[in-house]
Amino acid sequence: MIDRTTPLSPVLDTFDRRLDSLRVSVTDRCNLRCRYCMPEEEYVWLPRESILSYEEANRLVGVFSSLGVSKVRITGGEPLLRRDLARLIALINGNERIGDLAMTTNGLLLAESADQLKDAGLGRITVSLDTLRPERFRDFARRARLDHVLEGIEALQAAGFQDTKINTVVVRGFNDDEIVDLLEFGRAKRVEVRFIEYMDVGGATQWSWEDVVPRAEILEAVRRSLGEVEALERPVGRGAPAEQFALRDGTVFGIISSTTEPFCRGCGRSRITADGMWLLCLYADTGTDLKKLLRTGLSDDEIAAVIREVWHSRTARGAEERLTAPDRGPLYKVEGLRRDPHREMHTRGG
């Protein structure tokens, strides 16, 4: 049994950023094909035998928690495609050092799983939703299933989930005319909508600056229709990248301006792919193969020592460095993604 009272000395990187938050991708597969993430017809998938079992993933979470990680987010691909995900949730929930256990999902399969996930101890859910128009949804994500996402949002509220958020990637010419509609949807459902600037990450092979709707423009669209907007103070110690704003009636929404105003300075987030590759940054080229360490029989202490050392030398400032990229375009070409699918956004979990 872990002693929660034992204070952990923070594991810091070269910019004194604390190892504190971990995204755990459980699959690289997805049941949607969002244009900003999976625009191609064909993909190279991670080999099935390389995918971590729930026991292996939970063991890694345990090692990270012994180094100070207290926030875990389950992601994918689409995490609900993984069979019996509630079992992994229950395993991680048994770790007393994890104080915040969340999941990001496209919501398609939420209606049938919300109760089980709640019972297993999942704390919070973020649902990705970019449009409220069925035909747009079909054109953009190549599946006609908006109604399933909306049912999923209802189901998670019925199951008793609190602090639900909606993630909306704003893409010019696609959904920038729905900013206010989505905000009003969030207000009606009592969930916080977070608008995300379109990022030039792996997978976004059709990215261009012209398609990015910057934070200032999102705010202007809200002000024009809904009046004054107040910027809220970031809670102390909050590592989350979203800036929060409030409308006059108290409705709170967020903006993640990771493309035009990145937040690398405060980023203590890292991610493990479904096959156990540990990445220090969303923009990282390569990572540390933790599956190999697990499967060659290293002890938890030995794995922890590797993680500590790698984090100590972390210099990642991927999004900030992209600001100075000449002729900025997509991060990778399709061939580069096919050569190493770990670079895909749907592999590294967003």
Helices within the chain (DSSP H only): 54-65, 85-93, 110-120, 134-141, 146-158, 179-189, 215-226, 290-295, 300-312, 318-323, 334-339, 345-348
Q: Name which position in 13, 78, 243, 275 contacts ligand SF4 (CB under 6 A).
A: 78
318 Cβ contact list (under 8 Å, min separation 6)? 264, 281, 282, 283, 284
| Burial class of residue 23 in the structure, from the number of CB atoms within 10 Å of its CB (0-12 exposed, 13-18 middle, 19+ buried) | buried
When asked if residue 167 is in the footprint of ligand SAM (CB under 6 A), the reply is yes
* Residue 105 contact partner, candidates ligand SAM, ligand SF4, none, CB within 5 to 8 A by sort of partner: ligand SAM
Q: Minimum distance from CB of 272 to ligand SAM (Å)?
A: 14
| Residue 13 vs 211, nearer CB to ligand SAM | 211
The stretch near ligand SF4 (CB under 6 A) out of 26-34, 40-48, 233-241, 319-327 is: 26-34
Number of Cα atoms under 13 Å in the Cβ half of residue 105: 27
Q: Which residue has the tokens 């923070």?
A: 10
When asked if residue 272 is in the footprint of ligand SF4 (CB under 6 A), the reply is no
89 Cβ contact list (under 8 Å, min separation 6)? 74, 101, 103, 117, 120, 121, 122
Task: Please state the separation of Cα 300 from the chain's center in Å.
Answer: 26
Reading the block at residue 312, the tokens are 């100590």
227 Cβ contact list (under 8 Å, min separation 6)? 247, 248
When asked if residue 27 is in the footprint of ligand SAM (CB under 6 A), the reply is no
Ramachandran bin of 178, using left for φ above 0, alpha for ψ from -120 to 50, beta for the remaining angles: alpha
| Residue 19 vs 199, nearer CB to ligand SF4 | 199
* Residue 196 contact partner, candidates ligand SF4, ligand SAM, none, CB within 5 to 8 A by sort of partner: ligand SAM
Alpha-carbon distance of 185 to 124, in angstroms, equals: 19
* Residue 33 contact partner, candidates ligand SF4, ligand SAM, none, CB within 5 to 8 A by sort of partner: ligand SF4
| Residue 254 vs 350, nearer CB to ligand SF4 | 350
Site string for ligand SAM, 36-75 (x = CB under 6 A): xx-------------------------------------x
| Residue 39 vs 266, nearer CB to ligand SF4 | 39
When asked if residue 332 is in the footprint of ligand SAM (CB under 6 A), the reply is no
125-184: which residues touch ligand SF4 (CB under 6 A)?
128
Reading the block at residue 240, the tokens are 């989350």
267-296: which residues touch ligand SAM (CB under 6 A)?
none
| Residue 120 vs 256, nearer CB to ligand SAM | 256
Reading the block at residue 30, the tokens are 């997805």
* Residue 38 contact partner, candidates ligand SAM, ligand SF4, none, CB within 5 to 8 A by sort of partner: ligand SF4
Residue with the shortest CB distance to ligand SAM: 350
When asked if residue 38 is in the footprint of ligand SF4 (CB under 6 A), the reply is yes
Strands 21-25 and 165-170, bridge-based pairing: unpaired
Which residues of this protein are in contact with ligand SAM, per CB under 6 A? 30, 36-37, 75-76, 78, 104-106, 128, 167, 169, 196, 198-199, 201, 204, 345-346, 349-350
Residues engaged in binding ligand SF4 (CB under 6 A): 30, 32-34, 37-38, 76-78, 106, 128, 346
